[in-house]
Structure 1
Amino acid sequence: MKVQEKKSQKYHIRWMLVCYDALIYLMSAILLLILYGGMDKLTTAGIAEQMIISAICILFVRMIGKIYNQVWRYGGIQCYMRLIFTDGIAFVLYLGLELILPVQKITFARMLSLVSLNLLGALTIRMMYRYAYKCGNKDNAWGRVLAKLLRAFSGIDAGKEKEVQKIKVAIMGAGRVGVGLAEELLNNEQASYIPRCFIDINKEKVGREIQGIPVWSENDVTLEKLEDFEVQEIIFAIPTMETEKRKELYDYYKNAGYKVKIYDYPTMHAAGGKMYLREFDIEELLFRKPLVVADENTNAYYRDKVVLITGGGGSIGSELCRQMARMKPKQLVILDIYENGAYDVQQELKIAYKGKLDLQVEIASITNRKAMARVFEEYHPQIVINAAAHKHVPLMEHNCIEAIENNVFGTKNMVDLCEEYGAERFMMVSTDKAVNPTNVMGATKRMCEMIVQSASTHGHVKYSATRFGNVLGSAGSVIPLFKRQIANGGPVTITDKRIIRYFMTIPEASQLVLQSGAMAKNGELFVLDMGKPVKIMDLAENMIRLSGVHGIEIIETGLRPGEKLYEELLVKTEELDKTKNSMIFIERDTALSAEEIDKRLALLKDACASDDDLKAKKALRKAVPTFKTPEEVNRTAFEKNEKENEEKQKKGLKVALF
């Protein structure tokens, strides 16, 4: 019954609007065809003929243009433009019929005036209706007058009752994104939010109204003012806002008790590339400026190439596939041992590109030389990106042989097959844990780097490796663990309150790999300037605060096997070369000879054959001389950090004294 009532009300309002339009047309016709005689004196029959032709043309085109199907109480500029456009077509139709039909003629000026005056009246009543609906809920004399007029002429009440049920928001940013959000909320009856105000710093906008919504200066906004306007949530709609400013405003409104959300472009796999309203992601928790390193030269390099991505179903590998798909390769081959991950990214890309992407999926391990040879034989990839690896530090400490066989010998297989099948370029995904490694995972990745650098000295393929820090949102990151612990009511566990890590997002890491690979000449070890490090303790506290759950405890559990207090990105910071991207550097390390690499690989192979993890770890220490114990590195790093803190305190004391 309620649905029928709504439908009947909808049609009642629509036909009522037709009647009002007819009344406005009649007034316009009386004024311009009867009261105004003009040069062409019309007979009664001539007036009737002109009124019938013009009225039919206007009404017919408006019906075809679905003018009366629009909800004008939420009508934006697009609704008014449609009305103007349809009446323009109606005038052309009217002009044509008037010329060909055997009726009494009138001047072009009078015809244009008739249609234009009628259009002006139609626009006016719609604007008045929208204004009355919007402002008729104000608790003042004018609001009550508007509410009565609205009730008298349209039969409906102002939107007060409906608006009470909606969440009232302040939109941070009166630019294109913020205004687009406001229009969407105003025009959508099903929206859960209603905008109350804009907050902006643009002096040209402050003090004015956009879509009838006031624009306030950021400096003039007070918590009392927000309370007067019944604002419940703050929505950030400035994707380009500076990191420091975003953090400042986030903290201010969050501490004031407001829910804070963000409205911007998400990643493609999150929402099909469309804008949507969401909670702050963990990337915003860090409040570090996202790096955009991909450029047109990078896109051009990969375009029309056959690209093979190993580990393509993993966190980094799947994002590499997404980024690569946008660059329009000739063919994209996703290879992974885990079929579910590969299947997920395959289906996602199929939906996104609808057959426009030549996409192939192979399920195989990079340690299986025969299977990998079959893949190379079938596709002959020009570019190979090796993202397949075991990366979980504690697990690899207890599975040393598996780490060596998968990471080291799997990489060696890929290098050999690239040479055998004439690939153009091999790009290896590495990690900051390969720098002075204190764990098996880091040591195996350092060995992989040495294999790649050595191959660049005698092979025909161009080689490079790209090293970066921890990745937000990856399967092995600390973020999912914290989320689960918070969801379960705590406690949140961290291994050591002193731990510091460098973070980047998955898209940033993927872009870095792709751009560095495109700019590589041969043998480079690329390193990203990842900015300021983040304390894991601060990250945990931010996540707890964002969750809104109170009373969650943070406890220390002690460092895990092979874990460092501080990660390093560079082996020898004094030997860095700059690139055309200010955020990417090249560390030049002396490449080992092929004979030396073979010698170390033989040592590792014999150790793995023994099926003894302890022997394998000892062999790994010999193969990777920089592989040290975590206790040694942590002690040195802690002493260095303490010394730096003491120097800072002394310097601060001198400044205070003088």
Structure 2
Amino acid sequence: MPEHLRALLSRWAASWTWVPRGRHLFVYDVLATAASILLAFAMRFDASNALAWMGPYLPIALLPLLVLPPVYIVMGLYRRVWRYASIDEMFALTAAVAVGYGTCFVIFVLVSVDGLAGSPGFPRSVWFIEALLSLASVGGGRFLLRAILEQRGSYPSGSNGSASPTIVYGAGETGATVARVAARDPAAGLAIVGFIDDDPRKRNVRLFGKRVYGDLDALAEAVRATDARQLLIAMPLASGAAVRRAFETGRALGLEVRTVPPARELLSGELRLESVRRVSVEDLLRREPVAIDDEAVAGYINGASVLVTGGGGSIGSELCRQILALGPRRLIVLDHHEEALWTIERELGEQSTGSQGVVFETLLADVRSAGAMDAAIAESRPDVVFHAAALKHVPIVEQFPAEGVLTNVLGTRNVLRACEREEVGRFVLISTDKAVDPVSAMGATKRMAEHLVVASARRTGRPYVAVRFGNVLGSSGSVVPTFQHQLGRGGPLTITHPDVTRYFMTIAEAVSLILEAASSANPGEIYVLDMGEPVRIVDLAHDLIRLSGLDPDQVPIVYTGLRAGERLHESLFYDHETTEQTIHPGVLRVRSPADEAAPTAVERLVDQLAQAAADREVRAVRALLRDAHRLGAPAEAAGLESVAGPER
């Protein structure tokens, strides 16, 4: 036999080979089929001596014993892991039984034509009865096996030293999944001993054999009854207020409190116990989930070429992750920081390999270089550009305002000019709430960037827009990592002022809303994300202290005073701006007289800023930034005291 034919037959045989571990099931299936045949005749003829009734029809009666086992092998029933049997396995089993008995019936019809032995007068109803009995016996045996194995895999409180007796908060779909997965995998270290749920209809019912004790107020009773040491919040759609109440209640009872991720993080729709984690400050600040219009977002991303500047940063990298999931034709990540670029390339390069048809590229370039931006846009020819590259740290830009101008203002103009030249269809600026009535150099540079976007949109008539929002939790240099570092050193925590507040949003939520806002086709719009209510920084500090297992009075807080360029409270709008609700929940449209600034006035001021920044004339830079603050809105207050501060 030719070698290639032998290899082909070998691969074919291997694909149909039933796994040796299925040999016991194979024997069981043969016995179950034989029993089904006998019982079907007994039921059909209502006789205790079924064998006597089978005698005349024996060749046809035994046909399922010859047909069903090969059908089960071919349809892969012995290659499945029945310990984890689910609806998919039930469908496969039903299909195999149906195909098997369908084949038997076809053979019966064919042999009946020739009047072969056993076929004349054979009662057709027996096939139907046999099929139901076979499905019940073959399927029932497998699911009984699963139940036995799961029971052996689960264990009561205290029977496994590595398992923590756990009460699950949430007896819904997620809670049931947690219990099921925990029972299958003892190595996960979860021994589910009970449930609590806010639905009064579930009180005292049982889920996987464990009692639902009631709502959160019944947690103390549940702990006394079960000796639980851990509370697991299994409600991915829970608000921050609900998570906070559960955390505080559990902590007061001496429980370790853990949670499943919020729904936004469960992108795959699957829950793995590895994703169960300790409660974080992001969980305490969760907001009610906003329904994202996936169709609107995918409408301009799917199949498009997308470029993200600053793609190695906190916002930029999350933009890349979510964009990649929407199926672009090409994703280009641009950053001037080689380590950040290498990190995102290592992460998303592997991910894009599994995304059919997505071309993933990285570009090492600086938005400050007009030539580099011209080349990058001309070579990549993107359909959509997200401009996230910026200097964002207020104290740093306050100290070096010329650098802020070169990156945030000149960099934005360089990217916009390249986009205009190559007729890029859509441009999105990532802006900030600090651009509103700015008292810092960083805020003033971002306000100037907004003016540039509006001016460019007016020239081109294309949907070039800006999206403005507040602080994001977990970004580099934000207050949360700073507090965590200080807690790791034993304190104290440093806060500028007891009354200081900030708007907060998770990075994932902010990026989702950015993508949705960018689906607008209106040129020159400024959008603001609905940030909810501002958060007192001292309250945030207390939350982090509690999450670390300490009491707030155990960790000192030192108030250092507001730094140059900082203020007590941020705002998302100017006083003279008005807002309109868009069709997208969580996204507002801003209307402002400042948007009417003439493009020529904007370009003139940018030229002056560029010259002053290139010459490192700090005093001139600050004065010009004050003019940028007033641009297009003469009624605005002078403000910007820090930008007009002392020259360095």
Q: State TM-score, norm by structure 2.
A: 0.79
Describe the shift of the 1:78–1:171 C-alpha distance in structure 2 as closer, same or farther (beyond 3 A): farther
Q: CA offsets per residue over residues 303-326 of structure 1, 9 Å max, x none?
A: 444332211221111222223333
Match of 1:352 in 2: 351
The alignment of Structure 1 onto Structure 2 pairs a total of residues equal to 600
State whether residues 40 and 107 of structure 1, in contact with CA within 8 Å, keep that contact through their aligned partners in structure 2. Answer: no
Indicate whether 1:482 and 2:479 are aligned. Answer: no
Q: CA offsets per residue over residues 184-216 of structure 1, 9 Å max, x none?
A: 222335432233334334466554444444444
Match of 2:318 in 1: 319
Aligned-pair distance for 1:420? 2.5
1:232-247 correspondence runs (5 A):
232-247=229-244
SS of aligned partner of 2:188: coil
Indicate whether 1:565 and 2:581 are aligned. Answer: no
1:616-655 correspondence runs (5 A):
616-625=621-630, 626-629=638-641
Describe the shift of the 1:440–1:78 C-alpha distance in structure 2 as closer, same or farther (beyond 3 A): same
Taking the aligned partners of 1:124 and 1:321, their CA distance within structure 2 comes to 48
Describe the shift of the 1:255–1:609 C-alpha distance in structure 2 as closer, same or farther (beyond 3 A): same
Indicate whether 1:275 and 2:271 are aligned. Answer: yes
Describe the shift of the 1:103–1:558 C-alpha distance in structure 2 as closer, same or farther (beyond 3 A): farther
State whether residues 384 and 426 of structure 1, in contact with CA within 8 Å, keep that contact through their aligned partners in structure 2. Answer: yes
Moved more, 514-523 or 534-543: 514-523
Taking the aligned partners of 2:80 and 2:528, their CA distance within structure 1 comes to 58
Aligned-pair distance for 1:350? 3.5
Structure 1: give runs of 5+ residues left out of the alignment: 1-10, 138-156, 634-658
Report the AA paired with residue 183 of structure 2.
L
Taking the aligned partners of 2:581 and 2:28, their CA distance within structure 1 comes to 71
Taking the aligned partners of 1:230 and 1:78, their CA distance within structure 2 comes to 37
Report the AA paired with residue 284 of structure 1.
D
Match of 1:604 in 2: 609
Describe the shift of the 1:94–1:403 C-alpha distance in structure 2 as closer, same or farther (beyond 3 A): same
Q: CA offsets per residue over residues 615-643 of structure 1, 9 Å max, x none?
A: 5334433443445236999xxxxxxxxxx
Describe the shift of the 1:577–1:103 C-alpha distance in structure 2 as closer, same or farther (beyond 3 A): same
Describe the shift of the 1:235–1:220 C-alpha distance in structure 2 as closer, same or farther (beyond 3 A): same
1:252-271 correspondence runs (5 A):
252-264=249-261
Q: CA offsets per residue over residues 31-55 of structure 1, 9 Å max, x none?
A: 6668644697444x976x6786545
Taking the aligned partners of 1:630 and 1:201, their CA distance within structure 2 comes to 51
Match of 1:108 in 2: 124
State whether residues 62 and 68 of structure 1, in contact with CA within 8 Å, keep that contact through their aligned partners in structure 2. Answer: no
State whether residues 177 and 264 of structure 1, in contact with CA within 8 Å, keep that contact through their aligned partners in structure 2. Answer: no
SS of aligned partner of 1:474: coil
Structure 2: give runs of 5+ residues left out of the alignment: 1-18, 631-637
1:265-344 correspondence runs (5 A):
274-276=270-272, 277-344=276-343
Of 161, 164, 179 in structure 2, the residue corresponding to residue 167 of structure 1 is 164
Report the AA paired with residue 233 of structure 1.
Q
SS of aligned partner of 1:221: helix
State whether residues 266 and 275 of structure 1, in contact with CA within 8 Å, keep that contact through their aligned partners in structure 2. Answer: no
SS of aligned partner of 1:194: strand
Match of 2:545 in 1: 544
Describe the shift of the 1:94–1:304 C-alpha distance in structure 2 as closer, same or farther (beyond 3 A): closer
Taking the aligned partners of 1:28 and 1:415, their CA distance within structure 2 comes to 75
State whether residues 493 and 557 of structure 1, in contact with CA within 8 Å, keep that contact through their aligned partners in structure 2. Answer: yes
Aligned-pair distance for 1:510? 2.0
State whether residues 391 and 476 of structure 1, in contact with CA within 8 Å, keep that contact through their aligned partners in structure 2. Answer: no
Taking the aligned partners of 1:416 and 1:576, their CA distance within structure 2 comes to 29
Q: CA offsets per residue over residues 227-273 of structure 1, 9 Å max, x none?
A: 323433222223233443343333222322222222256667x9867
Of 570, 589, 611 in structure 2, the residue corresponding to residue 585 of structure 1 is 589
Match of 2:180 in 1: 183
RMSD: 4.0
State whether residues 579 and 586 of structure 1, in contact with CA within 8 Å, keep that contact through their aligned partners in structure 2. Answer: no
State whether residues 292 and 508 of structure 1, in contact with CA within 8 Å, keep that contact through their aligned partners in structure 2. Answer: no
Indicate whether 1:223 and 2:220 are aligned. Answer: yes
1:437-516 correspondence runs (5 A):
437-516=438-517
State whether residues 231 and 256 of structure 2, in contact with CA within 8 Å, keep that contact through their aligned partners in structure 1. Answer: yes
Moved more, 616-625 or 248-257: 616-625
State whether residues 173 and 200 of structure 1, in contact with CA within 8 Å, keep that contact through their aligned partners in structure 2. Answer: yes
Describe the shift of the 1:25–1:600 C-alpha distance in structure 2 as closer, same or farther (beyond 3 A): closer
Describe the shift of the 1:296–1:60 C-alpha distance in structure 2 as closer, same or farther (beyond 3 A): closer
Match of 1:650 in 2: none
Percent identity (aligned): 29
Report the AA paired with residue 124 of structure 2.
F
Q: State TM-score, norm by structure 1.
A: 0.78
SS of aligned partner of 1:624: helix
SS of aligned partner of 1:436: coil
Taking the aligned partners of 2:448 and 2:214, their CA distance within structure 1 comes to 57
